């Protein structure tokens, strides 16, 4: 409660009349779609050709981006966002969240698709692989992250964007949804640390 | 953490953004439990996928993944049926988000399915993976569409369509 009271006094009030301005924004950044399409075509080519380099590239690049973005958003951007003034938070969200809508599913598809094929290629997927239990543990962690990301984080992200598109956005609702977004981003960020531990362990065997 | 409503946005009351319960908030109590059903269905598909993938390279037992996929499918159908019975709902917004979500997640599921086909996965395992990917490709757009539409103003009954 004290926390809220302090922030009430420190957060600057909006303009003298009317709700905080919501900048024009597109829920899905259409200009990014060709980039996503190019990446997915590249991934399919990598999967079809079974090129070890291409599979490693897509898995490592996708996994590094996924892990870094989750950690950065959950543990750095999220807490900062929670302390911003309402207009700043709205302006940041309208520019940031549409991009996340394209980036995250793309990097997740890259990582999982190429990773499965790469593990099969290297024989790591086989149940007789000596460190199979570690691999199964990584499946479980990815499964939990998938559920959190797709069942809580992404719906909250999208609902915030649609709420902001309304002529009179409901501030309380946006606050609730943003809390879900930041909390779930933080949880997936922490789970990503476990993924890093497992993947670096397996890569060093 | 604070919320946007913690701040005193200036201006006359009628011009301020709504901060308390409104029509969309009040409608929530009448909505069916689509999110818990869909997330449970997705969870069962994910668990089934993990069980199946963990047995890669040996003759897998398909009993558990088949049961998980079946229950997951049942939960998804239940969510769809319950949702279809809702009269006051922002169906246009739901259709728009679910439609584009289906396109996006079918592409994603299609790429993952391509991996299994390309690897010559045995038919029974392939069908199971396919069923789980289908659950994934429908569950996620359903959750996205519902989570958006539940907070959108619904057309008045009798004025839809």
The reported pLDDT for the residue numbered B81 is: 97
Tell me which residue has tokens 């998980």.
B68
Would the CB atoms of B112 and A16 count as touching at under 8 Å? no
- To the nearest whole Å, the CA of A13 is away from the closest chain B CA by 5
Nearest CA in chain B to A147: B43
Distance between the two ends of chain B, CA-based, in angstroms?
42
Q: Please state the ipTM of this predicted complex.
A: 0.80
Rg (CA), chain A: 20
Banded model confidence at residue B99, pLDDT cuts 50, 70, 90:
very high
pTM of this structure: 0.82
* Residue A159, C-beta contacts closer than 8 angstroms, at least 6 positions apart: A177, B147, B148, B151
Banded model confidence at residue A17, pLDDT cuts 50, 70, 90:
low
Cα–Cα distances (Å) from A185 to A78, A101, A146, in that order, read 8, 13, 12
- Of the given ranges (A81-90, A185-194, B130-139, B145-154), which has the lowest mean pLDDT? A81-90
Residue A125 structure tokens:
């997927």
DSSP structure class, residue A150: I
Buried b / exposed e over A12-30, threshold 16 CB at 10 Å, is eebeeeebbebeebebebe
The reported pLDDT for the residue numbered B23 is: 66
Q: Is B22 on the interface with A (CB under 8 A)?
A: yes
Query: A38 or A80: which carries more pLDDT confidence?
Result: A38
Tell me which residue has tokens 């009954």.
B157
Would the CB atoms of A18 and B147 count as touching at under 8 Å? no
Average pLDDT over every residue of B85-92: 90
**Residues 71-130, chain B, touching A (beta carbon < 8 A):** 93, 97, 100, 104-105, 107-108, 111-112, 114-115, 118-119
Nearest CA in chain B to A22: B17
* Residue A143, C-beta contacts closer than 8 angstroms, at least 6 positions apart: B46, B47, B49, B50
Winning range, highest mean pLDDT, from A89-93, A161-165, B70-74: B70-74
Would the CB atoms of A127 and B55 count as touching at under 8 Å? yes
Would the CB atoms of A44 and B4 count as touching at under 8 Å? no
Tell me which residue has tokens 């990301």.
A149
Average pLDDT over every residue of A134-150: 91
How far is the C-alpha of A78 from the C-alpha of A185, rounded, in Å?
8
């Amino acid at each position: 409660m004290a926390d809220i009271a302090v922030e009430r006094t420190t957060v600057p009030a909006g303009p003298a009349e009317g709700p905080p301005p919501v900048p024009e924004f597109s829920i899905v950044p259409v200009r990014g779609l060709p980039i996503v399409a190019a990446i997915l075509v590249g991934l399919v080519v990598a999967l079809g050709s079974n090129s070890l380099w291409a599979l490693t590239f897509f898995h490592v690049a996708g996994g590094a981006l996924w892990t870094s973005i989750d950690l950065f958003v959950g543990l750095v951007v999220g807490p900062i966002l929670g302390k911003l003034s309402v207009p700043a938070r709205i302006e940041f969200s309208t520019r940031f969240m549409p991009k996340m809508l394209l980036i995250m599913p793309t990097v997740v598809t890259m990582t999982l698709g190429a990773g499965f094929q790469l593990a099969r290629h290297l024989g790591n997927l086989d149940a007789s692989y000596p460190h199979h239990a570690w691999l199964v543990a990584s499946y479980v962690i990815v499964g939990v992250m998938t559920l959190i990301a797709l069942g809580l984080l992404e719906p909250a992200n999208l609902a915030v964007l649609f709420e902001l598109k309304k002529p009179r956005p409901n501030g309380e609702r946006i606050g609730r949804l943003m809390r879900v977004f930041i909390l779930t981003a933080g949880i997936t960020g922490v789970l990503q640390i476990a993924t890093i531990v497992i993947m670096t362990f397996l890569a060093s065997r | 953490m604070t919320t946007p409503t913690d701040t005193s946005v200036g201006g006359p009351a009628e011009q301020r953004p709504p901060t308390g319960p409104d029509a969309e908030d009040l409608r929530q109590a009448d909505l069916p439990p689509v999110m818990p059903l869909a997330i449970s269905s997705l969870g069962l598909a994910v668990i089934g996928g993990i069980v199946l993938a963990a047995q890669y390279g040996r003759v897998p037992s398909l009993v558990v993944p088949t049961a998980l996929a079946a229950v997951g499918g049942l939960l998804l159908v239940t969510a769809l049926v319950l949702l279809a019975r809702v009269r006051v709902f922002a169906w246009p917004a739901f259709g728009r988000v679910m439609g584009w979500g289906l396109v996006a997640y079918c592409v994603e599921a299609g790429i993952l399915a391509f991996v299994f086909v390309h690897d010559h996965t045995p038919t029974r395992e392939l069908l199971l993976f396919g069923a789980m990917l289908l659950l994934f490709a429908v569950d996620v757009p359903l959750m996205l569409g519902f989570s958006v539409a539940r907070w959108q103003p619904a057309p008045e009954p009798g004025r839809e369509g």
